[in-house]
Every structure is written in C-alpha cells, then in structure tokens.
Structure 1
Amino acid sequence: MSHTTEWNVRLQLSEEDGKTRARVVLDTGSASLTGAGTAQCAPGDKDVPVIGDEFAAGRALRDLGTRLLRTAEHDVEAMGAAPEPRTSVPYGWPE
C-alpha cells in the first residue's frame, strides 16, 4: 500500500531579557500538535541570540517529537496492540 502525505511545521521564536522561547506547531491536516522549549543565557555568558534560538528550537522540536511518539503509542493501543518498548535514554542540553 503506497501512501504519501505532507505535514507542515511552523516554528516561532521570541527573546526577551536573555530568555528565548520557542513554539513549534505540527499540522497534519487532521490534527495539530504543539511543542515548546526555552533557553536562558547564563549570567556570565555573552548574549548571542542565535545560540539561544538553537537551544530553544531544539528543545521545542524534542518536545514535539516526544508528544508525537506518545500520540502514536496511544493510537497503537487504541487499535488493540501493545506499543513498542522504549529503549532510548533521554539526552540533550540541561533545561
């Protein structure tokens, strides 16, 4: 069975007082999921906005990925099958 679809992702970044916030929205056409992430410049660090954008966006995308996997697991369970066991270990930058 062949299947092709397109999902759209929108990422919004905002920065205020050294804190960057990211919001990412996945639109599948029939559903929408949102992820969020933040980054904050440490007091002694040089304020480089693009680095805050990268950290916040990465965290928002990771959050979205986690939410999408949970949705898929829920859908699998609703179909009467057991979800795939989780084997991955959390990683990434400190929050």
Structure 2
Amino acid sequence: MPHTVEWKVRLYLFEEEGTTKARVVLDTGTTELTGHGAAHRNPADADVPEIGDELAAGRAMHDLGRQLVDFAERDIEGEDAPATGRSARPETGWPLPDQTQGG
C-alpha cells in the first residue's frame, strides 16, 4: 500500500562569542520534535562561523535522529506480538559489528 507524507524541518542557528547553538524542529503534522546542538570555538582557533554552524547543526540533527529512533522503538514495543508466534521483535536499525570477532 503506497504511503506518502511530508514532514517539515526548520533549522535555527545562533552564534554569540565563540559559541554556536542550533535548534532543529521537525513537524510531522501530528507531532513536533526538537533537537539541540552546540559548538564552542577554542579562542586560539580562527573565527570561521561556517564550522560552528556545521558542528552545531549536525549535533542538533543527531539529537533529533536519536529521538526519532527512540519513538520508533517505543512504537514497535507497543505493537501486539506478530502472528508468526515469535515472542521478541528484532532490533531496529543496522546491526552492530560483532566485537568478539574483531568486526
């Protein structure tokens, strides 16, 4: 069954005295989530605002992404057990490398 939706994302950046803060807002039409991120410039580093923007924005989007995955995992846990009789659902996302095998 086809499924098409549009989610709106707004990204706000604020810089003051070597600190850049970012706030990213996701509006799904039914839910609004906000991610936050910050970047602090070392006083010895050159003042390149774009770097602070990139770091703060990336961190805010990472925060937002973590929240989305958390919501999805809670939704999965809230679903009834599958009809196949399996008692546990698989984890969401990409599998992690096996640490015991040097992966």
Same fold (TM over 0.5): yes
Higher-Rg structure is: 2
CA positional deviation for 1:80: 3.2
Report the TM-score, using the length of structure 1 for normalisation.
0.86
Alignment partners' CA distance in 1, 2:90 and 2:59: 24
Alignment partners' CA distance in 2, 1:88 and 1:64: 21
> 2:91 aligns to what?
84
Residues paired across the two proteins, number: 89
- Which one scores higher on RCO, CA 8 angstroms, separation ≥ 6? 1
Alignment partners' CA distance in 1, 2:73 and 2:80: 11
> 1:3 aligns to what?
3
The amino acid that maps onto 2:91 is: E
Per-residue deviation, residues 28-85 of structure 1 (Å, max 9, x unmatched) = 0000111000001012101111110000000000110000000000011111353515
Query: Identity of aligned pairs, percent?
Result: 57
Q: Which runs of 5+ in 1 are unaligned?
A: 90-95
Q: Which runs of 5+ in 2 are unaligned?
A: 82-88, 98-103
1:83/1:31 CA distance change after superposition, 3 Å: farther
C-alpha contact 1:73 1:83 (8 A) present in aligned 2: no
Alignment partners' CA distance in 1, 2:50 and 2:37: 14
Report the TM-score, using the length of structure 2 for normalisation.
0.79
Detail structure 1 runs of 4+ shifted over 4 Å in the superposition: none
